[in-house]
Amino acid sequence: MQGRKRLPRAVRLLIVARAVNRLGAFSLSFVTVLITTRFGASSAVAGCVSAAFGLATIPSRLVGGRLADRIGRRRTIVVGLTGCAVAQLGLAAADSLTPAICFAVLLGLVFEIYEPPSQAMIADVLTPSEHVRAYGLLNAALAAAGMGAGLVAAGLGRWDLRWLFVVDALTCLLCALTVRLVLPADHRTTAAAAPDQTPAVTPWRDRALLLMLATGTLFAVIYLQIMITLPLSMDHEGLRPTDAGLLFTTSALTISAGQPLLRWSRLSMLSAPVAFAAGYLLLALGLGGYALAHNLTAYLAATVVWSAGDLLLVGRAYAVVARLAPPGGRGRYLAVYGTSWGIAGIAAPLMGTQLIEHAGPAGLWSAMALVSLLLAALQPTLVRGATFHGNDHQLDSAPAELQDERAG
């Protein structure tokens, strides 16, 4: 019955605000296009700018985690979104290549600041048993908003690319204003802990967190291969690369439509190790389907399968990391785990293009399926150890919840 309880108002409002922001977050895909078409830069220069952006997102997320624990969740979200708006407006107004590059890098430096406090705020107001559903709902809301973002981008992009960045900036400001007005104010508790309350364990010295970071990076590499190299893969198979948009929409629909299934008792009662194993097996099966696919129907079927695996995976990973964090350290722990996406953002394009060039699409997706099978074997063991370790951290701060879980 717990899975049927309504989420707290603060969580629901945060998810809605993030969805509004995601509705406008389509400009990032067009940074390289803007640089090449408006300023005449080469593809190599545009690629370097894109890589610099990806690299900048790593310290961005770490800064967001530290600020979330120091100045509060709501303030950090507002700061990050406002910074994104400033950088995007700067890109839209840039009249030469140099300022455009500077604002693109600035966008990377502020782009991930609001992620750790958003995730930490969800963990703050919910019991551990509700974390998976809340993170899954956030993921589904962002996926659904992403579908609308593609339609908005298609319309505005035909007019002037700069308007993409203007509208994106406006949605950032609207989200920041919503967060500022409707979410609970920050309190000087964990966000401003006294020196003697600072957690003894730092994120980069926590072995359990680092193991989760390693597996999270592998997952992010797999996921970004789909986002980045799927159009190229379809082109090699003689299909239209633009049909990848249909596959992305299918994935978003699967994740959104699958959310009610997480309330079913059989799924909600799955232990984290079993859910991770099942999720990665489905992911491997879907990617294996890509390796064998030669028509759009086969690609669509494989997309539904791996998206079902994603439904089981994403929320649980953040829930495990939130449980690992000591009192007052959730923002930093979630930020460190989140750097997996920045690392993968650098590695995935290089790895994917090389695999397609030397092994073809079948080789690429077969390799990704094998990595998924490896994660299916390793992740359950890591999660068992991480859960026990996390209970040790949080026992004093939430004794009733965690002692009940240990007893179970």
Question: In the chain, what are the domain boundaries?
Answer: 1-185, 199-403
Helix/strand/coil for 408 = coil
Least confident piece of the model among 120-124, 299-303, 394-398: 394-398
The vertex-253 CA angle with 24 and 278, nearest 5°, equals 120
Digit-coded pLDDT (tens) for 132-159? 778 878 877 877 777 666 666 666 666 7
Kindly state the average pLDDT of the residues 259-279. 77
d(CA 111, CA 80) in angstroms, rounded, equals 7
What is the model's pLDDT at position 75?
92
Given the candidates 3.40.50.2300, 1.20.1250.20, 3.40.720.10, 1.10.10.10, the CATH classification of the domain at 199-403 is 1.20.1250.20
- Residue 199: the pLDDT is 45
Is-above-0.85 flag for pTM? no
Strand intervals (E) in 226-370: none
Intrachain domains 1-185 and 199-403 with the same fold: yes
- pLDDT tops 50 at residue 191: no
Q: Which of 359, 338, 326 is nearest to 63 (CA)?
A: 338
pLDDT band for position 312 (cuts 50, 70, 90) = confident
5-50 confidence digits (pLDDT tens): 677 888 888 888 777 777 656 666 667 777 877 888 886 787 788 7
Q: Which tens digits make up the pLDDT trace of 352-397?
A: 888 888 898 999 999 999 999 999 998 888 777 665 555 545 433 3
Mean pLDDT of 393-403: 38
Q: Quick one: pLDDT band at residue 106, thresholds 50, 70, 90?
A: very high
CATH fold of 1-185, please?
A: Growth Hormone; Chain: A; (1.20.1250)
Contacts of 371 by beta carbon, 8 Å cutoff, 6+ apart: 218, 221, 222
Look at 401 and 170; give whichever has higher pLDDT: 170
